[in-house]
Amino acid sequence: MAGKEVVLDIETANTFQEVGAYDHSKLVISVIGCYFYETDEYKAYETHELADLWPRLERCDRIIGYNTKGFDLPVMNNYYPGNFLTFSNLDIMEEIERSLGHRLKLDDVASACLGYGKTGHGLQAVEWWKQGKKDEVKKYCLDDVRVTKELYEYGLKYQALAYADRLGGRKGIPVDFVHKAAEKATINLTMPF
């Protein structure tokens, strides 16, 4: 694990169904949950706090998440002057899809590897947000971050993940999560020049 890796997950205040299209630009962030390896810290950010988060992500070695390239980062780009998709990123779901040829739910992989999964469902978090239950949304989001972090560490340790197949058997998924240090262009979009 690199000392400056960040595991993240986002929750939104609305859904694709509500906006009438599969359009990331129409989704509104409610919370971004993060785990920072550098400081061994979990933190949830609301939209009014994102200016504090962006510099931390700009300085990180790699962003780690589950479906980050397909969901989290495109939605985050609505709030950021640059493009998070250009950052070093490990999308665990993408690695699984590359290995198996199809996607799996975070909950299914976590249950097979860790013995437990997610604590709720994203649609539930949208409803909580609408009901003003911000603390519940933050807790749910950070629980997803914790599960993703532990799944990442499992993959690092065993170089494999697992899932239960349709017959109830446990199947392995070979993965390589080792961060290959690469030349990284300095990104400094939110700090004064």
Residue 94 domain-assigned?
A: yes
Q: Is residue 182 part of a domain?
A: no
CA within 13 Å, CB half, 127: 5
Residue 25 located in a structural domain: yes
Whether 70 maps to a domain, the answer reads: yes
Its domain, for residue 27, covers 5-174
Asked if the structure places residue 52 within a domain, the reply is: yes
- Give 99-119 pLDDT, tens digit per residue: 999 999 999 999 999 998 877
Residues 59, 64: Cα–Cα separation, whole Å:
14
Number of domains, the chain: 1
Give backbone dihedrals phi and psi of 172, rounded to 5 degrees, phi first: -90, 155
* CATH number of the domain bearing residue 26: 3.30.420.10
**160-164 and 170-174 beta bridge pairing:** antiparallel
Question: For 17-28, how does the pLDDT look when each residue is reduced to its tens digit (9 = 90+)?
Answer: 887 778 788 899
**Any domain includes 29:** yes
Question: Is 183 domain-assigned?
Answer: no
- Tell which wins on pLDDT, 40 or 3: 40
Angle at which helix 122-130 crosses helix 134-158, to 10 degrees, equals: 160
- In terms of residues, how long is the chain? 193
* 93 inside domain: yes
